[in-house]
Amino acid sequence: MSRSYSRERAVLRDAANNAFGRQRDVLESAGRLLGGLSQLAGRKLIQKTPLAPKKSGIRGFIATGLAVAIVAGVAYVAWQLLRTDDGAWVDDEFDVD
């Protein structure tokens, strides 16, 4: 192998490792966010009792919409990070003349 090929390969490997590290950080943040949201939802369900009067209003509707939007956003980011992109990969077999 030529030195330029080895250097280019090392640069690409480092870039891929950095990208995977950033993806791991984003997924960890998304996991913590979803964990917090699930705990909040569990507390809300526990607080509801059959004897408590029903509170319907705009605040509950807005909170529910916000929670759904956050979960959808996190799911979209995770999908974008984990989808396969065939054009992003370089073939290992190529002619070096």
Domain boundaries, the chain: 3-86
The amino acid at residue 84 is T
- Report DSSP letters for 27-72, one per residue: HHHHHHHHHHHHHHHHHHHHH--TTSPP--SHHHHHHHHHHHHHHH
What are the pLDDT digits (tens) for 29-84? 888 888 888 888 777 766 665 655 566 688 888 888 899 999 999 999 888 888 77
pTM of the model: 0.40
